[in-house]
Amino acid sequence: MIKLKIAVQKSGRLHDDSLRLLKDAGISIDNGKDQLKAEAKNFPVEVYYLRNGDIPQYLKDGVVDCAIIGENVLVEKGEDIEITERLGFSKCRVSLAVSKIFEYDSLSDLDGKRIATSYPNTTKKYLEKRGISADLHVINGSVEIAPNIGLADAICDIVSSGSTLFKNNLKEVEIMMKSEAVLAVSPKLPLDSAPILERLRFRIQSVLKGRSSRYVLLNAPNDKLDTIVSLIPGMKSPTILPLADENWSSVHSVIKQEEFWEVIDQLKEAGAQGILVCPIEKMVI
Ligand code: PRP
């Protein structure tokens, strides 16, 4: 039987959320401890647990068909590999940072300086495009220590909460790129694996739409129904059901998570009462 080979991070910041996404997409994986490859019981996929930095090369070579990977790693090591879905988790920035006491005004302050980074390609391109030439030191971990031990004047690394920079007395001065987890596809994806990838993408899209939406139920006075319905148009149009009190109706609809507070305030102002907001597990449009 043909199986889609999908790579996920073996350990690190994407690992748990990647497996949760597959689980929410109904793919249950037999994952023995320390196993590097696992089969799904109920979907034709094999999951490969790989080191983050190795995944772009495995994709290029067609050793795996697709991968859940940080966009930052893909941009650094996997140029030209196609991204088919943005997955909305593990959001971070790839940024330049300097010591808090460095008087930084603009990028030209880094001209001729030493920059420590695990992202040499991304940094080089960013600086070259802006006419800045710097001396790059490639380090594979604990980059933030470099300015404190005199190894570099600046660093380029990923920033998420900013706490590692803070703890090392550094300040973020330039955001080079914003990143999140993505589903990337090998240019060597076999033709007969493509339909499995499409099924996987459909499931992932349904999970992501569900995650970014909320189901709203509320009671509305009938004379305000038009206003309230216009605020929550939903997927097609809201469901309106009569209440026992003939002057009131129950309205059910779907709203975007990010619009939640604004819409709720407007609904209250329009006279809605008893507003319930529930999570949505999956959403198929
Ligand atoms: C990354 C990165 C930073 C840190 C930033 O390391 O190298 O050190 O996270 O995150 P923060 O802004 O939330 O503090 P990670 O822990 O992913 O491990 P790594 O050093 O192996 O990349």
Ligand 1 atom with the smallest distance to the CA of 158 is: 2
The whole-angstrom separation of Cα 11 and Cα 8 is 9
Both tokens assigned to 34 = 């320390």
Ligand 1 atom with the smallest distance to the CA of 160 is: 12
Question: For the purposes of burial, counting CB atoms within 10 Å of the CB of 278, is it exposed (0-12), middle (13-18) or buried (19 or more)?
Answer: exposed
Q: Are 124 and 75 in contact, with CB atoms under 8 Å apart?
A: no
Q: Is the CB of 157 under 6 A from ligand 1?
A: yes
Q: SS3 for 269?
A: helix
| CA angle 174–179–182, rounded 5-degree value | 165
Domains of the chain by start residue, with CATH: 4-90+180-210 (3.40.190.10), 92-178 (3.40.190.10), 213-279 (3.30.70.120)
Q: Report the separation in Å between the CA atom of 283 and the middle of ligand 1, taken as the mean of its atom positions.
A: 33
In the prediction, which pLDDT does 33 show? Answer: 60
Q: Are 42 and 26 in contact, with CB atoms under 8 Å apart?
A: yes
The whole-angstrom separation of Cα 282 and Cα 285 is 10
Give, using CA atoms, the residue closest to atom 2 of ligand 1: 158
pLDDT in tens, the chain (285 residues): 899 999 999 988 999 999 999 999 999 887 666 688 999 989 999 999 999 999 999 999 999 999 999 999 999 997 789 999 999 999 999 999 999 999 999 999 999 999 999 999 999 999 999 999 999 999 988 999 999 999 999 999 999 999 999 999 999 999 999 999 999 999 999 999 999 999 999 999 999 999 999 999 999 999 999 999 999 988 888 999 999 999 999 999 999 988 889 999 999 999 999 999 999 999 987
In the prediction, which pLDDT does 35 show? Answer: 80
DSSP state of 8: E
The whole-angstrom separation of Cα 59 and Cα 185 is 7
Render 201-262 in DSSP notation, one character per residue: HHHHHHHHHHHTEEEEEEEEEGGGHHHHHHH---SSS-EEEE-SSTTEEEEEEEEEGGGHHH
Which of 140, 160, 166 to probe ligand 1 with, by most ligand atoms within 8 A of CB? 160
Q: Is the CB of 124 under 6 A from ligand 1?
A: no
Give, using CA atoms, the residue closest to atom 3 of ligand 1: 158
Give, using CA atoms, the residue closest to atom 21 of ligand 1: 141
Q: Is the CB of 227 under 6 A from ligand 1?
A: no
Question: For the purposes of burial, counting CB atoms within 10 Å of the CB of 93, is it exposed (0-12), middle (13-18) or buried (19 or more)?
Answer: middle
DSSP state of 173: E
Both tokens assigned to 199 = 């099924």
Render 84-143 in DSSP notation, one character per residue: EEE---S-EEEEEEEETTS---SGGGGTT-EEEES-HHHHHHHHHHTT---EEEE-SS-G
The whole-angstrom separation of Cα 265 and Cα 277 is 13
For the chain, give the longest Cα–Cα distance.
76
Q: For the stretch 165-202, what's the b/e string if a residue is b when 16 or more beta carbons lie within 10 angstroms of its beta carbon?
A: beebebeebbebbebebbbbbbeebeeebeebbeebbe
